[in-house]
Structures are given as C-alpha cells and as structure tokens.
Structure 1
Amino acid sequence: MATQLYPSKDILYSPQASWFGDEASPMLGWYHPAKLRDAGGSRQCGVVLCPPFGHEYMVSYLAYRHLANQLARAGFDVFFFDYSNTGDAADVDVLTDRIGLWQENIRQAAAQLRKMAGVQHIALFGLRLGGLLAASVAHEIDARAMLLMAPVISGRAYAREMLVLRNMSSISDMNGLQADVDLDQARDPAHTVTDDELTGYEFSAATRSSLGKLDLLKMPAPAMPVFIQARDDVSGQEAKLVNAWYHHDHALHVSDLPGYAAMMTEDAHDTVVPMAVWAAMQDWLSRYFPLASIDSRPYAVTRDVASIAFNSQVIEEELLEFEGMFGIVSHQAGADPKALPAVVLCNIGANHHVGNHRLYVTLARTLASYGFHVLRFDKSGIGYSKATPDDRENDVHAAAGVDDVSSAMYFMQGKYHSPSFVLAGLCSGAYLSYMAGLDDERVSGLVLMNQLTYRWQEGDTIDARRKNTIKSSHYYLQALAKADTWKRVCKGQVDFPQIAGNMLRRIGKRLRTQWQLLVTSLTHNNLLLGRVARNFRNMEARGTELLLIYDASDTAVDVMTEQLGRHASLLGHSERIRLEIFNGADHTFTPRWAQSALADLISKHLHKRFNAASANAAK
C-alpha cells in the first residue's frame, strides 16, 4: 500500500542507477534507498561509498554492492558511484591531475545523495585510496561519521608502491601490433607502456605529485566518530593512524576482523565478500544514527540518458534493465539503430560491464562513434544484475549466461529494432559469444578475443583450468632467450614436469589438426574436421563475420591452434574470417596502446564489413 511514508516498492527496495553531476561530464551512481519497512524507519543518514582505484576497484565492486545493500536494510540511504575517468563515468580532459577532480566528485556525490534521499547527515566509507580521498574532504561536506577500510595513509608511499608493482609487471616491456607471431620483428616505440599508466589506467606524474600531498597522519584528527578496519594480509600503518587520532574527543574504533585479503584478490572471480566486516560496520554506525519515523521523503528523480563527448562526437548512453539484468546502450546521437547490427559485449570473467581497465567502455564508445548501437551488460550473477537461477554470484561460465545473451538480443530487437547482432567478448565473454552464436540466425558477427575454452562441462572449475594451464609456446620460446629464465630454472622455480607434459599434449593436438587439414583438403569433406572447426565453418557458411583476436604470448593462441590449426588454417580462406594477433598486449589487453589499438581495429573492421554488406544488399 503506497503512502507518503512508503511512496512505492521500487523506491524502497530496488537500487536506482542514475547519471549525475555536470551535464558535460556525467558520472554513474547507484542509489540504494533505505528499506524503511525492513528497518522500521529511517536513520536520516546517507552513506557515500568512495571506491578505490584501478584493479582494486574491479575486485571490490561486488563487495561494495553488498555493503550498500547491508546498510540500506538497516535504514541508511546509500550512494555508490564512479569517479570521473573511471568506471562508466565520462572522461574529463584534466591536464594536471585526477586527485582534485575525484575530491570534487565526492562532494558532488554527497550533494546528490542529500538531494535524492533528503537525509540530515552524511557518512563516508572508503577502501584504500577511497579512504584517503574521503578523509581529505570529510570536513568540507560536513560528514558526521567515517568508515575506512585499509585506508591509504600516505599518498606518496602509495604512489611509490604502485610504481614498484608496475615495474614488476610482465607488461612493463611491450612490443607492438603485428599480424602474425614473429619473434624477430623490431620493437615499435609507439607501442610501449608509458610511465604515466598503471595496469591499464592513467596514472600521470601530475596525479602522483598531487597524491603525494595527501597524508592522513598530517591531517587534523577528524571531529567525528571513525571506524578503521585494518588489513589482514600485511602489517599496515593503521596503528600509526590510531596513535595520531587517538586523543581527539570523538570515538575511534579499530577492527581487526579478517576479510580484506579474501576480498582483494588477483581476479574478481575469486573475491569473497567480507560480510562479517560489513555487519560490524553496520552495527557500529547504527549506534550513532538511531531509527526515527519520518513524515515524508523525496522521490528519487533519475537521469537515464547522458550525453558524453568522445572523439569529437556526442555519444548518448542509456541506462536500462531487462529481465533483472542491468546494461548501458551507447550510440551516436541521431544514429539509425536499423542501419547496422547491434553489438553486444559479454562480461570478461566476473568483472562487471565496464571490463578490465575500462576496456568495454572504450570499445563501446569507439564503436558508437562509428554508428553502432552497443550494449554492455551484466549477465546473471555479475554486477547489479540478478543472481543465476541457482542463486550464485560470479559464476563465470554459468549455462544461464547463453540464455542471458539471447535475452539481451531480444531486448535490443524490441527497443531498437536491431536487424542483427555482433557478439563480442574476451576470455569467458568470448566463450559465451561463441556459444550464443552457434545456432542463432540473428548473429551476423562474432568478435572473439583470447578465447580459452570452446567447451565448458558440468563440474569444470576455473581453479582446475588454471592449474593445468601454461603460457603459450611463443612465450616459452621467448623465455629461453632470457637470462632470468635460467636463473629461475637453477633455483627450482620452474615446474618442468607440468610444462613438458602440456607441451607434449599440444604437439599431439597440433599433429592431429595437421592431419585433419590434409585429409579435408584431399577429400573436400568437412565431416572429418573436429567439432569446433566444423562449428566455425558452419557459421561462416551462413554468412557470419568472424574476427578472432589473440595476444601472441597468451595460451589462447595454442588453444586456438589445437582446434583450428596454425593460423586457423582449418577454417579455409574466406573474406568473412579474419585472424589478428597482437604482440605484447597480454591476456586482457592491459597496456593503454593495446586498448586503443584493439578498439580501433574492431570498430574499423566491423564498419567496413557491415557497411559493405549494406551497400551490396541495397544493390
């Protein structure tokens, strides 16, 4: 029953995605309204969740969503958002640094939450860099409480730590784009990892300099209650912070509950939400903001469409939901949705729809600038979409994923009258695209990037696949020429039995594909091909454009070779099949040059192929 106190079920229970901030540079935020009926009232306190930076943002995304839900159930209004130039937000051309911009973003998010929820008080939560940024503006936004999880204490030390990690990375020495694997090709200076990037994200000298000026130990002790959650993987500097803030007149609570390390994993698939930590934070915060009845509350007005400047064009991005799944459609302002196939981007592993280092955001907006309508969405169990039918999250290869892709195509047909579809994805996203495109006549194109499997069976696990996975043969040939490899061999740090066993299996599979190629050429009979090669040939025969993209050192190259032959020779020669191999891009195309080159390659290829197809059809 809708009343003034409970205006609608949607406002009470469903997180609301909305664009906010400046019209010229919008950000995406998720408003989690206080669940007044569950909590028994409102706490008249809104909590702004300030995200961390880079990879830490990606792996903690699911945990942030759970924290927002936890606090909303307790009667808090919550706002989780993306800083400018991160996540789904628009890029702002800041010539100096990002730190001042992100501090202003937190101020904007607090103002937005006050406007949407009508709350009297604001509290701030921040993880890692988000904690440092939150503390730096807490006084300015009149925050009444602060929750910090493993906060960055010194911006200068954090910047140094990030640079050390970058220099230790396997992508710190990169080569350029090439059409084939060629170990003798000279380095292209334009295709190197610059000093102003960090694991695929911009991290300029100006930003590092500005960050170095922030230090929690040098800030005045906050005049508000503070909850500090310590790290449980290494000894952090939380003790120093407690000593610096201990003598102020407000409550300072330190928690050593475990949960940080299990959340901050190398892969989003492995992240474990620290529910015990979230419960402790909720209990602590609730003591300072008791429940109270309210006479009325504003109805949250959301902005579903944003206009974003990109490559000298205006890209419109629409927020949408279909069958319990969230997505964003990018298209050029005024573009005809029926002129070209719609492009659907399928999740990279358990990462939500922005993709690793925002790869899908860059790709979607680049494709949109070429006239395509592009949907990046979260399948069941990822991001803000519903759970899978068996109520699981982060289930990367769930069988329901193929149905989700099909549902996405039906939605785009209904809303935009899309004539056909190009399915694109990286890693598990490539697998879902491949599976969804096998028998669906609506699929006129596939873009498969570093696809690691062509068959996922019940009982398979990512952990088991990882254990039995080694680098590509190309990688090991390169490694033999490096002195560091032999040092590791002498120290017993190289698992020769596993590598040798896998290499022998690869040789056997390659001999089989060579035999298939020979027999098929002599008999002109595709039935002698393996199942995967036949699937690709059948899709090509029905007119499907196939673009296969790999990094030369990725094991996906060997997986492809085992199924399709060297250089995909089992697929024959067709203008509808294109194979491209990058050198030095890594599995997720982390270097910024690789991201740009990849988006440019895919957009130009699809634009050329489907504009040519449209022209031929018109004749």
Structure 2
Amino acid sequence: MPCSAGQPVTFENTIGLYTPAQGLATRAAVLFVSPWGLEELCVHKAWRELADRLASVGVASLRYDHPGTGDALDISVPAGLEPFAATALAAARRLRDLTGCDRLVVVTQGFGALPILALLQAQDSSFQPEGVAFLAPVTHGRRYLRELSLWSKVVDEGLGLPPGSSGPNTSIAGLVMEDSVAAAVRSADLRAFEPPASIRFFIAERPQSDMDAGFSRQLQNAGADVTRVDFEGYSDLVSNPITAEAPIAVLKALTTWILGFDLSNANGGPGPGMPSSGVLDGSDFIECPMRFGAGDRLFGVLCTPANAIPAGTALLLGTGYDRQSGWARSTVETARFLAASGIASFRFDAAGVADSPPVPNGEAQVLYSPGQIADVRAALDRIEAIGLPDPVFVGRCSGAYLAFNAALADPRCRGVIAVNILTFAWDPRDDVDQMVRYNPRSLEDYKRRAFRMETAYRLISGKIDMPRAAGNILKIVARRVSKAVAPVMGSLSVDAKLRTGVHRAFRQLRERHVPVSLVYSEGDIGLARLGQHFGRDGQLLARYPNVSRFLLADADHNVTPPAARSALRHHIRDTILAFTSSTRKVG
C-alpha cells in the first residue's frame, strides 16, 4: 500500500497538512513556513517528501499556505506582513495541540523567514521555538524584490510573453503580491536582528550569496548557535516546478540537525490523534480538503456553492508537477468562480505529484502514464459517494491529455474541456522526460521569435540553447515530412497509426454523446498536432459534431496573463453549464 497523504486541517482561513510521527512517540514537531510565488511551487513536493522522511524517524510536522496563496483564502484587509505572522503563530499553536509537544522546530525558506523573524522580534511568549532553520532566507526586502523582478522577466521570456504580462506590480508567473505586502517586504532589513539566546539556528547559504553568509555571521557574532551549510542544488530546486530536484545533501543535513534536539523532556503527552479536516468558508463557496483513494493515498479539495445546490460538477485535473492549486493559482480561481456560478468542483494531486505520495514501485515519470487514470477513478468514486452529479473533466496540457483519455476509460464523464492539449495519443517517438523538461514550440512561434531584437541579443550573449532549439525545429520539420510521405507508406507509418487511433477515440466519444471542447492559446504547439490528425485547418473535426474549438487570445501555453485566465474561467463555466444541459436532454 502507498503511504497516506498528509492529514488536512483548517485554521486561520488556510489549509494545512499534518504529517504525524510514525510509532507511539513523537520526538519533535516541525513547522514548515513556505517561500512565496514560483519558489513555493517548486519546493512543494520536496517539502512533502521531507515531511514523510521526518515522520519515519519520529518527527511530526505541519505545513500550510500563507494568506492569499495556494488553497488559503484571499487577504480581506491589506495589512502588510501581519496576516502572515498571525497565520504562522496559529499554525504553531495548532501543531502543539496536534502533537502534545510544547516545543517546536521551525523550517523556513525564502520569504517564509520574514513572518518568523517578525514573531521572534516581537518576543511573543506563545512563540518560542527551540530552533529555526533558514533556507536561502530573505533578509533584505528591497534586494529580494529587485531579484524577484528580474526573475519574473526571465519567466515571462521563457513563456514567450512580453515583460510584465504575468500581472501588475510585484508578480511572477501570474502570482501577484498584494501592494501592502510588497511595501512591508521592501522595508524589511534584518541586519539589526538580535537572536534570542535560547534558539539554535540552521542556515543554508546560496552559492555566492553575500547576504546569506552575512546573516550567518551576524547571528554568530551575537553569540547564537549557528549551523551553516552550503545550499547545494538551490537553482535546480527553484527554477521550474516541473523539473525541480530536491537538494538531497541539504535536506540530509537539516534532518540531522533536527534530530540533534533533545526534546525528551518536552511537556505534554500524545496529541488528540488524527484531526478532522474542517472547511474554509468563503463568501460564495465552501471548500473541504480531504484525503481519498485506497489508504487515503491522495489529497484533494472539494469546492461547492455556499448557497445553492450544484447545477453541475467539474473534475479539475492538474498539469505537470504543479500542485492542485494550479499554475498562477488558476485552479483555485476557477474552482471558486465556478462555485459562485452554482458549479461544484474537485481538484486533486495525482500520485507522485505535490501532496500525494507516489505509488510504491511505480514509474518515476507519472506524466502521460496510464497509471494516472486510476487516480481519476478514485476521484470519481469520491464525487459519486458525496452525491454530486457526474463531472465534466477539465485539464490543461498533460492534464488535458489525462482528461481526454480518462473520458475514454470511464463512462462517468459528462464532458471534456481540454486546454492546450499537446497530443491525444502518445507518440512512441517522443520521450516524456525530454518533452516535459524542454517543451518545444510551434514552428510559427520559432519564426516569430527569430525576428525579435531581444532574441538576437540572447543569441549573441549565449543565453539561448541553440542545440536544443535546433533539435526541436528539426523534429517539427521531420514530422511535417513524415506527414507528407504518410500516403506513400499507407497504414504502416507511425503517423497513420496514430491518426487511426485518435479518430477511433473521437468516434467513441461521439457515439457516447460526450461533448468535447478543445481550447487553444493562439499559436500553441497543440494546434500543430491537431492539424496532423484533422487537417491544417481542422476541417476533419466536422465529422464529430460533439467537438468544438475555442481560441484564447494573448495567452501562453500555461495561460499566465490575468486577462487570459479570466477568459478561460468564463469559457469553462459556460461550457460546463451547456454540457450539463445537453447531456441531460440526451439522457
């Protein structure tokens, strides 16, 4: 059996995941305090793995979402960093209640250092950790925001978006920092911080970071007990959620440091056992985090209308290795928007993604794997047990592929909304690892980029991986040549076999009266793949009256810009209502 997902708990308008210690005794309790933005997306899976590892050696833990991030409710009243500190304090109290331990160890990364340092500076008697770990901490706010701005431009360029497309003011990858929070961060300068004598510190210092090393020396000069390690693998961890690699050496050193605390005399006995999850109550929605599947192996969030019986249901499938809240928090936005329109939804992490542990002895690469259909079926079983109507499957990219193929495998699908689907049937000539790490663009996109001045600058400066770009272009050309000679090869060609299989799948959905909406960003590479099966202009889709197409303007493959995300949300809502109505008539 796979190990269980963390037990969800709710407090202070956020969702946390509690991982109890294995065995009878809890040796320690660790509170994880996350970074912000794209960095949080990248570290999410690594922290779940660390929590599971700590549990195996008798250490319980709790990790949670900051206000206005992930699955937490939005910040209702702008108040700088105060809501973040208040939530951290509430999380510490909840962890003490859950474990029966009155002394804690806190682990932070990046932005997460700021609310913890604020609590330490306030000398709150209810917040007295035994130790604090700072992984690549933010100690100088103004400098952090400058780095964040530069990082945001790199991300926009990588997505093929004009600078600033991710959102207004302080933002990255579609995630926007509220103005009062950014102002508080900008004024943060911890060079005057005086560490309490009773607290031990662990600092993972980024390579060539004078700020990290300077903070370590500052604490040491003040007489603090400081363990310093090099943050090996930092860039591999925080560059991209889909390729993020856990920094094994750092996490091993951190685990050793945590186990070095003598908490045998900590007051209190065992906690109250496994807690009830609770709910988040929004103005238009109610969200209930839950575990499901065999052995509670999967984590998901049910979102229902607050004041109405659901008119329909959406099963929101994740993309790549992004957590179920979605890229740019888009899945959370969609779920709550749908609830305000009377539509329930269920979003979840598939096995091996974010907060759902992997299947034992399963494939390391779970994307585009038939094994994920079992996770969809487990979600459908939970939706059915709750008594909600059969759902419309909604997904983007790999999630769209899963939505399409799960619809073929399970008759409980009421419709499919596939956003920027790369392929309907996996091409054996493609390597999944290479595709997800180096997502190729369409030939038209490469042509557009070739005439941009910034592309010329990046080429001259060596910032473009020419061998990989050339390889991607050659693959596109080779596919077009293969398509051209397919009539000569007949049914023996790989392209012909793929095309036959795809049309067979479309016929099956047509015969079952399953409506399908294909949504594409303008110029997305998925359109080229669509043309391989249905003609350059998609004219062969006319054979399938259950299928429609919708184009998103000014959007990248991830649908990052706020306006594009809004347009997509409205399309998903209108399509689900239309699908629900049409399938009810057919039934």
What interval of TM-score do these two structures reach, taking the shorter chain for normalisation? 0.7 to 0.9
Deviation at 1:511, TM superposition (A): 5.5
1:319 to 2:290 alignment = yes
Which residue of 228, 233, 256 corresponds with 1:283?
256
Q: Confirm or deny: 8 A CA contact 1:423 1:446 kept in the other structure.
A: yes
Which residue of 388, 391, 402 corresponds with 2:359?
388
1:209 to 2:183 alignment = yes
Q: Partners in 2 of 1:235 and 1:375 — Cα distance?
A: 42
SS in 2 for 1:604: helix
Matches within 5 A, 1:387-466: 387-392=358-363, 395-416=366-387, 418=389, 420-456=390-426, 461-465=431-435
Q: Partners in 2 of 1:208 and 1:314 — Cα distance?
A: 28
Which residue of 94, 100, 104 corresponds with 1:118?
100
Which residue of 558, 564, 569 corresponds with 1:588?
558
1:221 to 2:207 alignment = no
Q: Give the stretch that moved more between structures: 420-429 or 293-302.
A: 293-302
Deviation at 1:51, TM superposition (A): 0.5
Matches within 5 A, 1:329-408: 329-333=302-306, 335-336=308-309, 339-340=311-312, 342-392=313-363, 395-408=366-379
Q: Give the stretch that moved more between structures: 352-361 or 388-397.
A: 388-397
Q: Which residue of 2 aligns with 1:128?
A: 110
Q: Give the stretch that moved more between structures: 501-510 or 392-401.
A: 501-510
1:248 to 2:218 alignment = no
1:60 to 2:43 alignment = yes
Deviation at 1:417, TM superposition (A): 5.1
Deviation at 1:254, TM superposition (A): 0.6
Which residue of 42, 66, 86 corresponds with 1:104?
86
Q: Which residue of 1 aligns with 2:442?
A: 472
Q: Partners in 1 of 2:9 and 2:504 — Cα distance?
A: 45
1:272 to 2:245 alignment = yes
Q: Partners in 2 of 1:459 and 1:120 — Cα distance?
A: 56
Q: Partners in 1 of 2:266 and 2:87 — Cα distance?
A: 31
Q: Partners in 2 of 1:124 and 1:375 — Cα distance?
A: 32
Q: Confirm or deny: 8 A CA contact 1:103 1:137 kept in the other structure.
A: yes
Which residue of 474, 477, 482 corresponds with 1:504?
477
Of all paired residues, the percent bearing the same amino acid is 23
Q: Which residue of 2 aligns with 1:602?
A: 572
Q: Confirm or deny: 8 A CA contact 1:343 1:423 kept in the other structure.
A: yes
SS in 2 for 1:374: strand
Q: Partners in 1 of 2:19 and 2:288 — Cα distance?
A: 21
| Structure 1, unaligned runs of 5 or more | 1-11, 177-188, 517-525
For 1:610, the aligned partner's letter is T
SS in 1 for 2:156: coil
For 1:158, the aligned partner's letter is Y
SS in 2 for 1:350: coil
1:410-443 alpha-carbon deviations (Å, 9 max, x no partner): 332233253x331111111111111111243222
Q: Partners in 2 of 1:117 and 1:240 — Cα distance?
A: 35
Q: Which residue of 2 aligns with 1:94?
A: 77
Q: Which residue of 1 aligns with 2:547?
A: 577
Normalising by structure 2, what TM-score? 0.87
Q: Which residue of 2 aligns with 1:82?
A: 65
Change in 2 beyond 3 A, CA 1:607/1:537: same
Q: Confirm or deny: 8 A CA contact 1:405 1:436 kept in the other structure.
A: yes
Change in 2 beyond 3 A, CA 1:304/1:500: closer
1:164 to 2:150 alignment = yes
Deviation at 1:161, TM superposition (A): 1.0
Q: Partners in 1 of 2:86 and 2:567 — Cα distance?
A: 32
Q: Confirm or deny: 8 A CA contact 1:434 1:446 kept in the other structure.
A: yes
Q: Confirm or deny: 8 A CA contact 1:269 1:394 kept in the other structure.
A: no
SS in 2 for 1:214: coil
Q: Which residue of 1 aligns with 2:9?
A: 18
Q: Give the stretch that moved more between structures: 28-37 or 501-510.
A: 501-510
Change in 2 beyond 3 A, CA 1:305/1:91: same
Change in 2 beyond 3 A, CA 1:222/1:199: farther
Q: Which residue of 2 aligns with 1:33?
A: 20
Q: Give the stretch that moved more between structures: 385-394 or 111-120.
A: 385-394
For 2:8, the aligned partner's letter is A
For 1:59, the aligned partner's letter is C
SS in 1 for 2:279: strand
SS in 1 for 2:401: helix
Q: Partners in 2 of 1:371 and 1:571 — Cα distance?
A: 31
Q: Which residue of 1 aligns with 2:492?
A: none
Q: Partners in 2 of 1:537 and 1:148 — Cα distance?
A: 56
Q: Partners in 1 of 2:429 and 2:473 — Cα distance?
A: 26
Which residue of 200, 210, 233 corresponds with 2:174?
200
Q: Confirm or deny: 8 A CA contact 2:289 2:299 kept in the other structure.
A: no
Q: Confirm or deny: 8 A CA contact 1:568 1:579 kept in the other structure.
A: no
Q: Confirm or deny: 8 A CA contact 2:499 2:533 kept in the other structure.
A: no
Deviation at 1:575, TM superposition (A): 5.5
For 1:134, the aligned partner's letter is I
Q: Partners in 1 of 2:317 and 2:118 — Cα distance?
A: 37
Deviation at 1:96, TM superposition (A): 5.2
Deviation at 1:489, TM superposition (A): 5.9
Q: Confirm or deny: 8 A CA contact 1:174 1:192 kept in the other structure.
A: no
Q: Partners in 2 of 1:100 and 1:119 — Cα distance?
A: 26
| Structure 2, unaligned runs of 5 or more | 489-495
Q: Partners in 2 of 1:155 and 1:491 — Cα distance?
A: 30
For 1:585, the aligned partner's letter is A
Deviation at 1:100, TM superposition (A): 2.3
Q: Which residue of 2 aligns with 1:46?
A: 29
SS in 2 for 1:244: helix
1:262 to 2:240 alignment = no
